[in-house]
């Protein structure tokens, strides 16, 4: 492993002195990987001044080894080969900080989840892999300069776009945490689509009461509510957004905000003409249309519609949701809605109960693919429906129900191949059909373009990660709450809004915001001003030209690296992840030694 | 599984947000695969120019799997750029006589355990096949 120090191409003001620390993780690593062999191989690298192995590097004594070496042996770069960086990268960065070394002069190599645990039967192979990966870490960190977190000023004010339940909840939570809030609502009133509902599952409260309470709280909290208003333009970046608001009467106003919460909600799926007879036969309605009919119906003994008495209704689930390519008609973008709209199963059953409460003699037929009454108390609606005589039929995409409109003296029918009775074809006479339509995102194309918001394959706004960062968008300082992110019910919208508000209030808790430094950086000495990188950047204002050199606005840069790949001189790189570092890692991984040459017998 | 693995070296380029945690999930489940696999993590593979891949092949990497986040990529336009670039890398591989099956762009999420293993096994087979074809044509 004899190697030359070939770091002359980077500007290192001091000698690079790497410390390598190989963890046994009890025996999790050392039972498979020969950690002594890794230490020995690492020691041969000209920049590695100290290499040690230890039983638990993350323990206090383990961290102390590193801290002491930094203080006493002038170690100025650290590599720890241990578990996954997702567990302990921050632990060790903090240890470096305690030793007064820049925390970004640290590289974490995973030799547990991605080595000892997955190559148990091959000690030599696993050890050779650990050596190569550790050497790659050494090469990378040897080329790392100290990095400083990006610090921007933070405006203690938030703009929330959309005043449905999610937006109202978020605004209220933010305001209660002492932040100023502007709530921008396109329509003339707050409440969003919850306003369309009568009672709501699972609490059976009146939707109007929920909205009235929320509206009062929002007003009492002195949230700056802008009804009949939309965002006309947005400039700036995390901590310092400038939003131009335009009202329906064309008046404009400006708001400054440290963060933005998107809460623009959902649209109902609208069936195409002829989908299960929709818009061709008057007896076919969507669930929201039927809900409205039921709510507006004057007290009466009979359910009548367009002058006719309704004695039987068939509900068809999953209309506009869980579609299959080749079977269902795609949306204008060529894609079908393959996702589950989640709330419609329970809301259909909830509506069925509301209907039966008023018209107990009605015959109700429920045609479903799956019943997904997933939330607390939701299954109860399903069980009670069976007990009340609702007849359930299960269909698949291979045998979608067929609607036949009424003929002279015959009522309309639904024909279904019922999976529950081994595909028996059943024809059900019905006076009315209710299509249980799903959710689609609202058309917010202008905001998506203006802010470069990420959308998923389902066209809803897409969080950074569904589990790790569920309410953040990749755009720094822009968060998401409620059904603009995907189908949710009111309870889930409220949780999401609370989470987004909590994230924002942590972000804006101080006058400044500190962010990871992993954004693009330009070496002005290498940049020749060709501007190729500018054309690659999707984030407005992140990359501009200044004095004929590319210039990054770190607060606007998402750190994706799109610009890096096209720079002919390698002048632009993502800090902490430069191409020179990757090349050096590849050299270490690709190095010619065989397993047996690397690992002593 | 032998440590030699026909000495193949497969580079797995993973994303910090999905396929890197995905590889951890495979480890947590103790599913076994060849140690001739080297995982590097990046914010997004779009960062790599065509020349990076070509250099990898020159420097001893036999096969590369780009495990992207696919259309779920949180960065605007990055996946489109990446797939276009990989298309150009294929052309350069063909020009240089490298079997195009030694590079694959795929999508792996945080829980794609089976897909992760399948990609590795397939790439290993591709690399071995490409080697033997190369030997045959050299002979
Ligand atoms: C048929 C049906 C029945 C349901 N029944 C229940 C139930 O019983 N119980 C339950 O918990 N949930 C139920 N739900 C779900 C519930 O309706 C939603 O969870 C809730 O309405 C979503 O709230 P939201 O704030 O995310 O979106 P929305 O209610 O859609 O509100 C979004 C708001 O943003 C505004 N907006 C949009 N774009 C802009 C813009 N560009 N600028 C400014 N403002 C904008 C809109 O005007 C709207 O006021 C049901 C849903 C359906 C479809
Ligand atoms: S909630 Fe039920 S009706 Fe709605 S899409 Fe999912 S399975 Fe279909
Ligand atoms: S592509 Fe490179 S050289 Fe050209 S302007 Fe951008 S940073 Fe400068």
- The parent domain of residue B73 ranges over 8-138
Position A5 in a domain: no
Q: What is the widest separation between alpha-carbon atoms in chain B?
A: 48
Say how many Å lie between the CA of residue A185 and the centre of ligand 1. Answer: 12
- Co-location of A189 and A319 in the same domain: no
- Co-location of A49 and A101 in the same domain: yes
Averaged pLDDT for residues A492-512: 97
Alpha carbon distance A423, A515 (integer Å): 58
The pLDDT of residue B134 is 81
The pLDDT of residue A42 is 97
In chain A, the number of structural domains is 4
Position B55 in a domain: yes
B42 within 8 A of B96, measured Cβ to Cβ: no
- Co-location of A404 and A457 in the same domain: no
- Co-location of A308 and A446 in the same domain: no
- Residue A33 backbone dihedrals phi, psi, to 5 degrees: -95, 135
Q: Do A133 and B38 touch (CB under 8 A)?
A: yes
Does residue A370's CB lie within 6 angstroms of at least one atom of ligand 2? yes
Supply the residue whose CA is at minimum distance from atom 14 of ligand 1.
A489
- Co-location of A118 and A179 in the same domain: no
Query: What pLDDT, in 10s, does the model give residues A530-555?
Result: 999 999 999 889 999 999 999 999 98
- Co-location of A390 and A322 in the same domain: yes
CATH number, position A73: 3.40.50
**CB distance from A579 to chain B under 8 Å?**
yes
The pLDDT of residue A595 is 76
A145-149, A330-334, A366-370, B68-72: the lowest-pLDDT one:
B68-72
Choosing from A124, A147, A170, the residue where a domain stops is A147
Does residue A322's CB lie within 6 angstroms of at least one atom of ligand 2? yes
Alpha carbon distance B44, A562 (integer Å): 8
The pLDDT of residue A467 is 79
The alpha carbon of residue A113 is apart from the nearest alpha carbon of chain B, in Å, by 4
The rounded radius of gyration (Å) of the Cα atoms in chain A is 31
- Co-location of A283 and A417 in the same domain: yes
Position B116 in a domain: yes
Position A7 in a domain: no
CATH number, position A567: 3.30.70.20
- Co-location of A244 and A279 in the same domain: no
Query: What pLDDT, in 10s, does the model give residues A51-109?
Result: 999 999 999 999 999 999 999 999 999 999 999 998 899 999 999 999 999 999 999 99
| Statement: residue A223 has pLDDT above 60 | yes
Q: Are strands A266-268 and A439-441 parallel, antiparallel or unpaired?
A: antiparallel
Inter-residue long-range contacts of A526-535, CB under 8 Å, 24+ positions, other chains counted? A526/A569, A526/A570, A526/A571, A527/A567, A527/A569, A527/A571, A527/A572, A528/A568, A528/A569, A528/A571, A530/A568, A532/A566, A532/A567, A532/A568, A533/A563, A533/A564, A533/A566, A533/A567, A533/A572, A534/A563, A535/A566
The alpha carbon of residue A256 is apart from the nearest alpha carbon of chain B, in Å, by 25
- Co-location of A406 and A492 in the same domain: no
Alpha carbon distance A167, A193 (integer Å): 12
Compute the CA torsion angle A324, A454, A520, A88 (nearest 10 deg): -70
Choosing from A438, A472, A491, the residue where a domain stops is A438
Determine the straight-line distance between the first and last CA of chain B, rounded to whole angstroms: 29
HSE on the CB side for A162, CA within 13 Å? 29
Confidence of residue B137 (pLDDT cuts 50, 70, 90): confident
Contacts of B61 in chain A (CB under 8 A): 586, 589-590
Confidence of residue A3 (pLDDT cuts 50, 70, 90): very low
Query: Nearest chain B Cα to A460, which residue?
Result: B72
Query: What pLDDT, in 10s, does the model give residues A383-407?
Result: 999 999 999 999 999 999 999 999 9
Percent of chain A residues topping a pLDDT of 90:
87
Position A230 in a domain: yes
Averaged pLDDT for residues A216-238: 95
Supply the residue whose CA is at minimum distance from atom 6 of ligand 3.
A533
Which ligand minimizes its atom distance to the CA of A338?
Answer: 2
- Co-location of A429 and A472 in the same domain: no
Q: Which residue has the tokens 């993973």?
A: B14
- Residue A298 backbone dihedrals phi, psi, to 5 degrees: -65, 155
Structural tokens at position B53: 């891949």
The alpha carbon of residue B18 is apart from the nearest alpha carbon of chain A, in Å, by 8
Rounded to the nearest 10 degrees, the angle between the axes of helix A123-142 and helix A35-43 is 40
What ranges make up the beta strands (E) of A223-293?
A: 224-226, 229-237, 240-247, 252-257, 259-262, 266-268, 284-286
Interface of A with B in 538-557 (CB under 8 A): 538-539
Say how many Å lie between the CA of residue A302 and the centre of ligand 2. Answer: 29
User: Helices marked H in chain B — which ranges?
Assistant: 19-28, 50-58, 78-95, 113-138
Position B107 in a domain: yes
Position A594 in a domain: no
ipTM value, please give it. Answer: 0.95
- Co-location of A258 and A277 in the same domain: no
Averaged pLDDT for residues A412-426: 95
The pLDDT of residue A9 is 45
- Stated pTM of the model: 0.75
Position B101 in a domain: yes
Q: Cβ neighbours of residue B91 under 8 Å, at least 6 residues apart?
A: none
Supply the residue whose CA is at minimum distance from atom 1 of ligand 2.
A342
Higher pLDDT, A567 or B18: A567
CATH number, position B25: 3.40.50
A369 within 8 A of A322, measured Cβ to Cβ: yes
In Å, how far are A189, A202, A225, A233 from A168, measured between CA atoms?
11, 20, 10, 22
The single-letter DSSP state of residue A328 is B
- The parent domain of residue A73 ranges over 14-147
Position B93 in a domain: yes
Which residue among A521, A530, A544 is best mutated to probe the pocket of ligand 3, counting the most ligand atoms within 8 A of its Cβ?
A530
Q: Do B47 and A565 touch (CB under 8 A)?
A: yes
Alpha carbon distance A559, A542 (integer Å): 10
Alpha carbon distance A582, B55 (integer Å): 11
The alpha carbon of residue A588 is apart from the nearest alpha carbon of chain B, in Å, by 9
Q: What is the widest separation between alpha-carbon atoms in chain A?
A: 97
Does residue A533's CB lie within 6 angstroms of at least one atom of ligand 3? yes
Which of B20, B40, B44 faces A561 most closely, judged by CB atoms?
B44
Position A332 in a domain: yes
The pLDDT of residue A8 is 46
Structural tokens at position B131: 């080697």
In Å, how far are A265, A282, A342, A490, A555 from A322, measured between CA atoms?
20, 25, 10, 21, 39
A2-16, A253-267, A272-286: the lowest-pLDDT one:
A2-16
Determine the straight-line distance between the first and last CA of chain A, rounded to whole angstroms: 16
Say how many Å lie between the CA of residue A494 and the centre of ligand 2. Answer: 21
Query: What pLDDT, in 10s, does the model give residues A19-41?
Result: 999 999 999 999 999 999 999 99
Query: What pLDDT, in 10s, does the model give residues B40-63?
Result: 999 999 999 999 999 999 999 999
Q: Do B1 and A539 touch (CB under 8 A)?
A: no
In chain B, the number of structural domains is 1
- Could you tell me which of A34, A37, A32, A39 has the C-alpha nearest to residue A116? A32
- Co-location of A204 and A290 in the same domain: no
Alpha carbon distance A386, A113 (integer Å): 48
CATH number, position A281: 3.50.50.60
Position B2 in a domain: no
């Amino acid at each position: 492993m004899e190697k030359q120090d070939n770091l002359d191409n980077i500007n290192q003001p001091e000698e690079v002195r790497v410390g390598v620390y190989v963890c046994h993780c009890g025996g999790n690593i050392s039972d498979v990987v020969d950690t002594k062999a890794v230490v020995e191989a690492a020691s041969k690298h000209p920049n590695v001044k100290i290499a040690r192995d230890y039983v638990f590097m993350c323990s206090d004594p383990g961290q102390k080894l590193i801290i002491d070496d930094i203080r006493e042996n002038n170690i100025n770069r650290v590599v720890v080969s241990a578990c996954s960086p997702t567990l302990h990268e921050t632990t060790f960065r903090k240890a470096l900080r305690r030793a007064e070394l820049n925390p970004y002069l640290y590289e974490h190599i995973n030799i547990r989840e991605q080595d000892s645990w997955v190559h148990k039967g091959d000690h030599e192979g696993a050890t050779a892999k650990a050596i190569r990966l550790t050497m790659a870490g050494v090469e990378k960190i040897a080329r790392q300069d100290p990095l400083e977190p990006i610090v921007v000023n933070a405006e203690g004010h938030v703009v929330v776009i959309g005043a449905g339940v999610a937006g109202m909840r978020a605004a209220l939570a933010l305001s209660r945490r002492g932040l100023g809030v502007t709530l921008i609502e396109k329509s003339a009133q707050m409440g969003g689509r919850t306003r369309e509902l009568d009672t709501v599952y699972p609490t059976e409260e009146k939707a109007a009461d929920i909205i009235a309470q929320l509206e009062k709280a929002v007003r009492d909290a002195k949230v700056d509510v802008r009804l009949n208003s939309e965002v006309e333009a947005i400039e700036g970046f995390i901590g310092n957004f400038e939003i131009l608001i335009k009202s329906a009467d064309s008046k404009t106003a400006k708001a400054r905000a440290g963060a933005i919460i998107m809460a623009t909600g959902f649209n109902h799926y609208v069936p195409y003409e002829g989908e299960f007879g929709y818009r061709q036969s008057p007896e076919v309605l969507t669930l929201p249309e039927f809900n409205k009919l039921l709510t507006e119906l004057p007290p009466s003994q009979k359910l009548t519609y367009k002058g006719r008495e309704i004695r039987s209704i068939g509900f068809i689930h999953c209309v506009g949701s869980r579609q299959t390519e080749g079977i269902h008609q795609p949306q204008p973008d060529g894609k079908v809605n393959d996702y589950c709209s989640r709330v419609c199963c329970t809301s259909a059953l909830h509506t069925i109960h509301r209907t039966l409460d008023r018209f107990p003699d009605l015959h109700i037929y429920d045609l479903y693919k799956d019943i997904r009454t997933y939330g607390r108390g939701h299954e109860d609606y399903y069980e009670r429906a069976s007990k009340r005589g609702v007849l359930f039929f299960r269909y698949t995409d291979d045998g979608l129900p067929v609607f036949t409109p009424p003929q002279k003296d015959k009522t309309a029918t639904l024909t279904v191949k019922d999976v529950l009775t081994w595909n028996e074809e059943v024809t059900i006479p019905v006076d009315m059909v209710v299509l249980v339509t799903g959710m689609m995102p609202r058309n917010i194309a202008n905001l998506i373009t203006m802010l470069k918001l990420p959308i998923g394959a389902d066209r809803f706004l897409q969080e950074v990660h569904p589990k790790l960062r569920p309410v953040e968008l990749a755009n720094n300082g822009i968060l998401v709450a409620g059904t603009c992110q995907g189908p949710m019910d009111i309870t889930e919208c409220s949780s999401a809004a609370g989470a987004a508000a909590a994230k924002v209030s942590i972000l804006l808790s101080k006058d400044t915001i500190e962010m990871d430094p992993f954004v693009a950086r330009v070496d002005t000495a290498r940049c020749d001003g060709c501007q190729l990188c500018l054309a690659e950047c999707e984030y407005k204002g992140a990359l501009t030209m200044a004095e004929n050199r590319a210039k990054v606005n770190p607060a606007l840069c998402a750190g994706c690296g799109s610009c890096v790949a096209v720079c002919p001189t390698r002048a632009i790189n993502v800090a902490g992840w430069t191409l020179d570092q990757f090349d050096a890692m590849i050299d270490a991984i690709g190095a010619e030694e065989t397993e047996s040459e690397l690992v002593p017998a | 599984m032998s440590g030699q693995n026909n000495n193949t070296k497969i580079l797995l380029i993973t994303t910090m947000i999905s396929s890197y945690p995905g590889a951890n999930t495979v480890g947590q489940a103790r599913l076994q695969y060849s140690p001739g696999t080297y995982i590097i993590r990046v914010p997004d593979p779009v960062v790599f120019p065509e020349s990076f891949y070509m250099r990898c092949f020159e420097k001893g990497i036999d096969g590369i799997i780009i495990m992207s986040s696919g259309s779920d990529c949180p960065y605007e336009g990055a996946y489109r750029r990446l797939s276009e670039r990989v298309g150009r890398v294929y052309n350069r591989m063909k020009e240089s006589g490298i079997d195009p099956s030694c590079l694959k762009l795929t999508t792996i999420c945080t829980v794609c355990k089976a897909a992760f293993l399948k990609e590795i096994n397939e790439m290993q087979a591709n690399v071995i096949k490409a080697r033997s074809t190369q030997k045959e044509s050299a002979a």
